Amino acid sequence: MPDFSLSEDYQDLVDTVHEFADEVVAPASVKHDEEHSFPYEIVKQMGELGLFGLPFPEEYGGMGGDYFALALALEQLGRVDQSVAITLEAGVSLGAMPVYRFGTEEQRRQWLPMLTSGDALAGFGLTEPEAGSDAGGTKTTARLEEGQWVVNGRKEFITNSGTRISRLVTVTAVTGAVQRADGSAGKEISTILVPTDTPGFTAEKAYNKVGWNASDTHPLTLDDVRVPEANLLGQRGRGYANFLQILDEGRIAIAALATGAAQGCVDEALTYAKQRQAFGHNIGHYQAIQFKIARMQARAHTARLAYYDAAARMLAGKPFKTQSAIAKMVSGEAAMDNARDATQIFGGFGFINEFRVARHYRDSKILEVGEGTTEVQLMLIARGLGL
């Protein structure tokens, strides 16, 4: 029989991050959410705990762990503050991981130590005004000129791109044309490492978002940005394929974050149901509330099993694209559904931002959109079935 219990090392990590989330992250959440301020002090402490280095080898400043360890940490952070959790998720799986997966040894040694320590953040520059789910619609261009890439274009919704510790954005750009099998012309898409202090690189005004208010998200403008030819990340023309791999892995991380959000809603609703009195009993006495919370717990449990399975397949070197899509879809919907139900249980208090369920209600919607919409996940699952 499969054993879904955690090893001692994994459980110790869960316990450590759980305590950190409750004692450090949660108390600061209301302030940062209300002020739309980036939690630099929390990021620093996460770096000191080694969370940014969890899945990377020690030779690059990492903790020598694996992707599942990162997912477990994200679940615990996602319980109490999705903004903090997405800062870690994007910093690792979207920021540092492309450098580790596809970078040269020189690129790894230049960038990874500062990224795995949490002293610096990197962004994932894929989405554009007309290229989101259809990333093949990329219009940003990069041309070689006297040993330099000259990059021009715009990017949208780029996390970790405009903080005072943001140092790097990996940018997808059209670097030429290719001939498809049917004879038609297609785009050669490559990835370029662009330091944020490069002239012509501008992180525009931060978005005024519905949720994830303490997460840093900006549109980017690249106006004749010049970087060395050596800043090509991976093989020329493989940028799109490489980023699809990064997204497959990243969906496991996002699923873990969403599972944490779903479980956080259960925990908050359960506590409230045992305390809130109505008609002579606490509201947890009534079957209507009991059944609502029971369904919430079932969703969180199912989401957790889904991302555990996808992570296990990934670490075993088995195909996991379909499973990561399932995990991402199931967990995102669980987070949104649980946030709605928890808000209903809290009644009027669920509409007050200082309560965690209200923040989960605002935050969770993006979990059905970011890093691949629910519709994209359904498309990937259908393809996995041979449709």
Instruction: Look up the pTM and report it.
Output: 0.95
Average pLDDT, the chain: 95
Which pLDDT score, from 0 to 100, does residue 131 have? 80
Q: Which residues contact 382 (CB under 8 A, 6 or more apart)?
A: none
Which of these CATH numbers, 1.10.10.1200, 2.60.40.10, 2.40.110.10, 3.40.50.150, describes 122-238?
2.40.110.10
Count of other CB atoms within 10 angstroms of residue 340: 18
Q: How far apart are CA 262 and CA 297, in angstroms?
A: 8
For residue 371, indicate whether it is catalytic.
yes
Q: Is the model's pLDDT at 1 over the cut of 70? A: no
Q: Is the model's pLDDT at 354 over the cut of 60? A: yes
Count of other CB atoms within 10 angstroms of residue 71: 28
Backbone dihedral angles phi then psi of residue 382, each to the nearest 5 degrees: -65, -40
Q: Tens of pLDDT along 23-66? A: 999 999 999 999 999 999 999 999 999 999 999 999 999 999 99
The reply to whether domains 8-120 and 241-384 share a CATH topology is no
Q: Tens of pLDDT along 120-132? A: 999 999 999 888 7
Q: How far apart are CA 337 and CA 48, in angstroms?
A: 34
Percentage of the chain lying above the pLDDT 70 cut: 99
Q: Among 181-190, 199-208, 350-359, which stretch is predicted with the lowest mean pLDDT?
A: 181-190
| 26 φψ region: left (φ > 0), alpha (ψ -120 to 50), beta (else) | alpha
| Residue ranges per structural domain of the chain | 8-120, 122-238, 241-384
Q: Residue 320's pLDDT band (boundaries 50, 70, 90)?
A: very high
3-state helix, strand, coil in the chain (%, to 5): 55, 20, 25
Q: How far apart are CA 189 and CA 187, in angstroms?
A: 6
The superfamily CATH assigns to domain 8-120 is Acyl-CoA dehydrogenase/oxidase, N-terminal domain (1.10.540.10)
Side-chain-side CA neighbours of 216 within 13 Å: the count stands at 23
- Is it true that domain 241-384 has CATH number 1.20.140.10? yes
Q: How far is CA 234 from each of CA 130, 134, 177, 239, 316, rounded to the nearest angstrom?
A: 25, 21, 18, 7, 24
Q: Which residues contact 182 (CB under 8 A, 6 or more apart)?
A: none
Which of the residues 75, 128, 268, 371 is marked catalytic? 371
Q: Tens of pLDDT along 63-120? A: 999 999 999 999 999 999 999 999 999 999 999 999 999 999 999 999 999 999 999 9
DSSP-assigned states of every residue in 51-91: GGGTTS-GGGT--S--HHHHHHHHHHHHHH-HHHHHHHHII
Q: Is the model's pLDDT at 329 over the cut of 80? A: yes
Q: Which residues contact 36 (CB under 8 A, 6 or more apart)?
A: 206, 208, 213, 214
Q: Residue 3's pLDDT band (boundaries 50, 70, 90)?
A: confident
3-class SS of residue 18: helix
